[in-house]
Structure 1
Amino acid sequence: MESFFDRVRHRWPAGREDLHVHILPPPEISAVLFEHYRDLTHRDPLVPVGPEWLHVTLLHSGPMAEWHPGEVEALVDQLGTRLADAEPVTLTLHRPNVGAVALECSCTPGEPTRQLWRACAEEISSVTGNRFPLIPTVHYPHASIAYSTGKLAERAELKAWLSDHHTDPLTFIAHRVAVVAQQHDEREITWRLLAELPLGGAA
């Protein structure tokens, strides 16, 4: 594994807030994942994702400082109107895999979240005039439970541990998406909540 933060530093430096759109799993699911995999995620050079920061990223957009006055408000309004016509999404988080830079729980099914990703991408592009690159360019839903902060040559030990410790799939219904101003300090990802947008007019 390589450092996640080394990989993103050139396009998302520490301390800079960028606009992100997330699906946030309910607290009880985040707590189960944090506690069950604690013995693995706290191993150096891994840094665990705290339950309050677990997320399924839909889209990473541009720096908050480069959004023009009124654009974030326009995005929230336009995207909120569009998502009011979408249905809540039932998603399942599966056991973690050892990825290139993080321990990732795959999330299924993918197509409903890709529809949300497309809606976010289209509305952000409309509001900003395509000023910002849309990340990712291919969306696959997942939730990282730990990020690597340095080079880890031996992945086999992580895979061996996972072969003996796993949770059953965890299913939840996403009733809203979160628009946040997100940053990192090269160890932890945190954010400020800007808006929660209901799916299908959910309360």
Structure 2
Amino acid sequence: MTTTSPQPLTSLPARDAGRGIEDFFTRVETRHHAWPAGRADLHWHLLFDTDAVERRLVAPYREITHQPGLAAVPARWAHLTVLHGGPVDAYRDGEIEAITEHVRAAAAGLAPFDLVVDRPTVGRVALECPARPGAPARRLWELTAAADTEVTGGRFPLIPDGYAPHLTLAYGIAGDQRADRLAIKAALSDHPGEPVTLRADRLALVAQSHNRRHITWTPLATVPLGPGPAAR
């Protein structure tokens, strides 16, 4: 099968912030509760079958996500963030294990559910696919936040402070060019694609870091939704 490289869309000089997708990583490094490059922070995610994500979300939008000014998210690192906790090294001995057990006990009373991941939209710092229904995913945000707060006494800010589930396909990055938001919106309006249904059946606890271009992690625990098998 012959493959072709994505054709570049219109891009803008980095100084033109009006229409350009901004650098996601600069934003997280400079916000009030900063997340610097290289620091591993505790995260709870919903993760999905990698082959399904590649086939149904990553590959269909590759010609749009692989553009100057964007860093596309490989399928193996695609995730739906539930909660961003504190720096892993700042948790005291036994706290991460205690948080995991609190979450495990609460998650055992919940059922797996389907999430409909919509077509990507162009945000200020990323191409994001909103997911619905929000209520069952929001319940996971609530229980993971409650567990972290109870165990640590609320030492860490919990991010986000309000929850709308989404899966990111590409992040805005620093460089000489910015991806043109208007051009990408126009390309998406002509691009085929339908909402994708993915099964949420487990929470993943990870130690997550970034290098100002990609987000990666080390797995710490897996917690099933419902009375599932023992966590790995």
Amino acid at match of 2:46: I
Task: Determine the C-alpha separation between the residues in 2 that align with 1:4 and 1:51.
Answer: 19
Matched residue type, 1:76:
T
Choose 1 or 2 for highest CA Rg.
2
Q: Deviations over 1:107-159 (max 9, x none)?
A: 00001111110001100100111000010001000000000003637311101
SS at match of 1:135: coil
Q: How far has the Cα of 1:82 moved from its partner?
A: 1.0
Match of 1:13 in 2: 36
**Which of the residues 96, 106, 127 maps onto 1:103?**
127
Moved more, 144-153 or 69-78: 144-153
Question: Which amino acid in the other structure matches residue 26 of structure 2?
Answer: D
CA distance in 1, matches of 2:126, 2:24: 7
Please tell me the residue identity of whatever aligns with 2:22.
Answer: E
Describe the SS at the equivalent of 2:116.
strand
Residues 28-83 of structure 1, C-alpha deviations (whole Å, 9 max, x = no match): 33102111111111101100001000000000000001000110111111111110
Across the aligned residues of Structure 1 and Structure 2, the Cα RMSD in angstroms comes to 1.1
1:23 paired residue number: 46
Aligned partners of 2:152 and 2:85: how far apart in 1? 10
Counterpart of 1:34?
58
1:8/1:181 Cα in 2 relative to 1: closer, same or farther (>3 Å)? same
Matched, 1:133 2:153: no
Give distance in 2, aligned partners of 1:84 and 1:162.
39
SS of match in other structure, 2:144: helix
**Matched AA of 2:160:** P
Quick one: distance in 1 between partners of 2:179 and 2:170?
A: 16
Structure 1 unaligned runs (5+)?
none
Q: Which aligned pairs between 1:36-185 and structure 2 lie closer than 5 A?
A: 36-150=60-174, 152=178, 154-185=180-211
88-97 or 32-41: which moved more?
32-41
Tell me the matched-pair count.
203
Q: Distance in 2 between matches of 1:100 and 1:19?
A: 25
Contact 1:176/1:202, CA 8 A, preserved across alignment: no
Q: Is the 8 A contact 1:94 1:170 kept in 2?
A: yes
Q: How high is the sequence identity, in percent, across the aligned residues?
A: 45
Distance 1:96 1:173 in 2: 18
1:201 aligns with 2:227: yes
2:150 aligns to what SS in structure 1? helix
Could you tell me the TM-score, scaled by structure 2's length? 0.85
Structure 1 outlier segments of 4+, above 3 Å: none
Given that residues 68 and 179 in structure 2 are in contact (C-alpha distance below 8 angstroms), is that contact kept between their aligned partners in structure 1? no
Amino acid at match of 1:186: R
Q: Which moved more, 1:111-120 or 1:167-176?
A: 167-176
**Are the counterparts in 2 of residues 15 and 183 from structure 1 also a CA contact under 8 Å?**
yes
